[in-house]
Amino acid sequence: MVLCPVIGKLQHKHVVLASASPRRQEILSNAGLRFEVVPSRFKEKLHKASFATPYAYAVETAKQKALEVAGRMHQKDLRAPDVVIGADTIVAVGATILEKPVDKQDAYRMLSRLNGKEHSVFTGVAIVHCCSKDGRLDTEVSEFYEETTVTFSELSEELLWEYINSGEPMDKAGGYGIQALGGMLVENVHGDFLNVVGFPLNHFCKELARLYYPPRPEGLRRVKHDSIPAVDTFENLSDTEGGGSDPGPSAEGGRGGEEADGDRSQAPGALDAALNGAESRPPFPTGLLELMDGFKASKVLFTACKLKLFDVLKDQGPLKAVDVARKLDACAGGTEQLLDVCVALGLLEKTHRGYSNTAVTTLHLVSDAEHSLLGLAEYNDAHVWGVFTRLGLAVREGAGQARGALGVTEEEEHLSQSREMTLQFMRAMHSLSKLTAHHVATAFDLSRFTSACDLGGCTGILARELAREYPHLQVTVFDLPEVIELSGGFQRGGRQTERIRFVPGDFFKDNLPEADLYVLSRILQDWPDDRLHKLLSRISSGCKPGGGLLVAEAAAEEEEGASRSPRLRTLSAGQPRSPDEHRRLLQRHGFRDVRVARAGDLLRVVLGTRAAP
Ligand SMILES: O=c1[nH]cc([C@@H]2O[C@H](COP(=O)(O)OP(=O)(O)OP(=O)(O)O)[C@@H](O)[C@H]2O)c(=O)[nH]1
């Protein structure tokens, strides 16, 4: 990911977000930052008139919020986190500062002031690096602010009151939430949108880059930046570029992007030395601790899915914990705990009105969502979870080495014999294929083919995508009879197009349907070598010269942009093949002009053309 190097600078540090704002939590966790949330108890009561500008007020409030948390944590444990982040968002109309409304009348006053006009949204941010020495807390504060200008449309009284009565304004600076209903009030935004939502992510990354990658001394610099590096230069910043591994922030905390570059080659201060590792305390193993808890997070997700929590909140949210408990017919205390953990995991948002789904949850964890992954969650919970509990035994006894440490159990072997298990598996594949089918279908231009056969095509998601992309293509889905029998239940409004047909059969035994193009999507990795070669040679003999074979498989993690899940999958299936291995495999079975392309984050697609025998 492009911004990884700069966010990654915090990955081994104990980072605390001193904010109760669910939006800030979501923005930062979406950016890949790992942190603990400790809401600040600092009362936003600084004397506004004593600040020269509205943003100075926001910056100071952000700093006080972060320092309060650092101080409190240090007092409690005699040890502070490494970094505390505080933020404060305000709306400014000229010199007047608007914060969160205290009641509906206040919200009305604010929104009336903004009506039909332009205003500024400022978020002040403080990044506090902490270090405790001899029981004393040392802090070094970097602070900055970001300004975005927003223009409201002319809005009627009726609309303003309708909006106020929705309850949305109450916990939002200026009385509106641009990311939700409040977006309808806004005609124009100039600047960073996320800054209005509560956290200027882009400026934050630039600030991290400034702190952790101080520019080289002038003579050594390849590129001269007028100020701080732009976001699109972050990916070029390697550990070595700054002159060593994780040098920690530069000695100059300063006022963020406001100040010109100083002489960064000065000797670092005492705090810097500590952050550089001169102190013997090792970095806080946040990543490791999170790995240890990873299984709990998965189980929380699976449980919430099983209880249909996200469906309830989609239809009736926001809801208080007691109401959710009633709807789920569950215990109130337990439900509240589950809800709060879901908030911490970024699966839910919590406001004074209750709990509601986040954007990602709405997209992927609601049953009837187009891109629902509920089937995959259900399968992982009911099946894969159990398989992984015998990992230790499988590693010790070397079970099923050919297909990964976990091998194949009798249970898996008989998967197709149980209707419920088959359905579970199909639902999981259906969920996943919806995410990947478009990438697979469009990784190459397949318009030269007139017919395709998706071997092991399951519920026909990829077939549908192929038919959609290539208007002249006839597609056959070929799969085991029990799968084909159940596949009808997955077709919305019947079989989606007349150009798709479903044919039952076993690709190891039965004649393959005729086609110009054979497709194997996420199939090869499931089979040991002997079966794999058998399958490929059957396809090769069935394929006419000039015909094609399209293989989609998990990309290896080492490849840029690949996700970690294929590597985990090697424990239950095989090792992902490299592009060269794929090329050789297809060539060995008579395919030439083998081309390889990435298809999204998960898959690699390989296309070969059948040579004349
Ligand atoms: O368009 C939007 N504008 C603002 C917001 C949210 O408004 C609040 C601003 O309040 P503050 O900065 O004081 O932060 P708190 O929520 O009180 O949390 P702290 O614990 O950090 O003080 C903020 O939540 C923004 O996200 C919005 O959502 N949309």
**Mean pLDDT value across the chain:** 83
Q: Which of 41, 85, 110, 172 to mutate to test the pocket of ligand 1 (most atoms within 8 A of CB)?
A: 172
- For every residue of 126-147, DSSP letters joined together read EEEEEEEETTEEEEEEEEEEEE
Distance CA 289, CA 470 (A): 48
Residue nearest atom 16 in ligand 1 by C-alpha distance: 21
Coil, helix or strand at residue 527:
coil
- Residue 88 CA, closest ligand 1 atom number: 12
Taking the centre of ligand 1 as the mean of its atom positions, its distance from the CA of residue 28, in whole angstroms, is 14
- Look at residue 157 and tell me whether its pLDDT is greater than 70: yes
Q: What is the 3-state secondary structure (H, E, C) of 338-387?
A: HHHHHHHCCCEEEECCEEEECHHHHHHCCCCCCCCCHHHHHHHHHHHHHH
Please enumerate in sequence order all residues whose Cβ is within 8 A of that of 227, keeping only pairs 6 or more positions apart, or say none: 257, 260, 261
**Each residue's pLDDT tens digit, 213-241:** 766 544 333 333 333 333 333 333 333 33
- For every residue of 372-431, DSSP letters joined together read --HHHHHHIIIIIHHHHTTHHHHHHHTTTGGG-TT---HHHHTGGGSHHHHHHHHHHHHH
The pLDDT value given to residue 569: 59
**Each residue's pLDDT tens digit, 373-387:** 999 999 899 888 887
Pocket of ligand 1 (CB under 6 A): 19-21, 23-24, 39-40, 44, 65, 87-89, 100, 171-173, 176-179, 182, 196-198
Give the sign of the dihedral formed by CA 309, CA 314, CA 317, CA 323: negative
**Each residue's pLDDT tens digit, 292-305:** 888 999 999 999 99
Residue nearest atom 13 in ligand 1 by C-alpha distance: 88
Residue nearest atom 8 in ligand 1 by C-alpha distance: 172
- Residue 42 CA, closest ligand 1 atom number: 22
Residue 253's pLDDT band (cuts 50, 70, 90):
very low
> Whose CA is closest to 574, among 527, 537, 522, 508?
527
Taking the centre of ligand 1 as the mean of its atom positions, its distance from the CA of residue 89, in whole angstroms, is 6
- Cα 567 → chain centroid: 18
Q: Which of 16, 23, 37 to mutate to test the pocket of ligand 1 (most atoms within 8 A of CB)?
A: 23
Asked if the peptide bond before residue 282 counts as cis, ω within 30 degrees of 0, the response is no
- Residue 172 CA, closest ligand 1 atom number: 7
Rounded mean pLDDT, 297-323: 94
Taking the centre of ligand 1 as the mean of its atom positions, its distance from the CA of residue 155, in whole angstroms, is 23
- Look at residue 271 and tell me whether its pLDDT is greater than 50: no
Rounded mean pLDDT, 586-606: 90
- For every residue of 148-190, DSSP letters joined together read EEEEEPP--HHHHHHHHHTTGGGGSGGG--TTTGGGGGEEEEE
Taking the centre of ligand 1 as the mean of its atom positions, its distance from the CA of residue 171, in whole angstroms, is 6
Within 10 A of 93 (CB to CB), how many other CB atoms are there? 16
- Least confident piece of the model among 114-118, 311-315, 467-471, 551-555: 551-555
Residue nearest atom 21 in ligand 1 by C-alpha distance: 19
**Each residue's pLDDT tens digit, 332-351:** 999 999 999 998 888 998 88
Strands (E), 535-602: 548-554, 591-599
Residue nearest atom 22 in ligand 1 by C-alpha distance: 19
Give the sign of the dihedral formed by CA 62, CA 68, CA 73, CA 74: positive
- Look at residue 265 and tell me whether its pLDDT is greater than 50: no
> Whose CA is closest to 540, among 470, 591, 592?
591
Rounded mean pLDDT, 496-523: 92
Taking the centre of ligand 1 as the mean of its atom positions, its distance from the CA of residue 604, in whole angstroms, is 41
Reported as type and span, the H/E element at residue 319 is: none
- Residue 121 CA, closest ligand 1 atom number: 3
Complex prediction ipTM: 0.99
* Amino acid of residue 35: F
Q: Which of 21, 43, 46 to mutate to test the pocket of ligand 1 (most atoms within 8 A of CB)?
A: 21
Please enumerate in sequence order all residues whose Cβ is within 8 A of that of 34, keeping only pairs 6 or more positions apart, or say none: 10, 11, 15, 286, 287, 290
Helix, strand, coil % in the chain, rounded to nearest 5: 45, 20, 35
- Structure tokens, 65: 């919020």
- Residue 87 CA, closest ligand 1 atom number: 21
- Look at residue 400 and tell me whether its pLDDT is greater than 70: no
Taking the centre of ligand 1 as the mean of its atom positions, its distance from the CA of residue 412, in whole angstroms, is 49
Taking the centre of ligand 1 as the mean of its atom positions, its distance from the CA of residue 123, in whole angstroms, is 9
Residue nearest atom 29 in ligand 1 by C-alpha distance: 177
What percent of the chain lies above the pLDDT cut of 70? 81
Taking the centre of ligand 1 as the mean of its atom positions, its distance from the CA of residue 193, in whole angstroms, is 14
Phi–psi pair at 87, nearest 5 degrees: -150, 155
Distance CA 175, CA 182 (A): 9
CA-angle at 455, arms to 413 and 483, nearest 5°:
50
**Each residue's pLDDT tens digit, 413-423:** 555 457 888 88
Active site residues: 88
Rounded mean pLDDT, 539-558: 88
The CA-atom distances, in angstroms, between 348 and each of 16, 318, 355, 392, 502 are 19, 10, 7, 34, 39
Q: Which of 59, 89, 145 to mutate to test the pocket of ligand 1 (most atoms within 8 A of CB)?
A: 89
The pLDDT value given to residue 105: 96
Interhelix angle 419-442/461-469, nearest 10 degrees = 20
Residue 255's pLDDT band (cuts 50, 70, 90):
very low
Within 10 A of 601 (CB to CB), how many other CB atoms are there? 15
Within 10 A of 262 (CB to CB), how many other CB atoms are there? 13
Interhelix angle 309-316/332-344, nearest 10 degrees = 90
- Residue 86 CA, closest ligand 1 atom number: 21
Phi–psi pair at 22, nearest 5 degrees: -60, -30
Give yes or no for a contact between 437 and 460, defined as CB atoms under 8 angstroms apart. no
Distance CA 64, CA 42 (A): 7
- For every residue of 68-85, DSSP letters joined together read HHHHHHHHHHS---SEEE
The pLDDT value given to residue 322: 94
The pLDDT value given to residue 72: 93
What do you get for the CA distance between the two ends of the chain, in Å? Answer: 44
Distance CA 47, CA 509 (A): 81
Residue nearest atom 15 in ligand 1 by C-alpha distance: 21
- Least confident piece of the model among 100-109, 307-316, 403-412, 439-448: 403-412
Tell me which residue has tokens 């009105």: 353
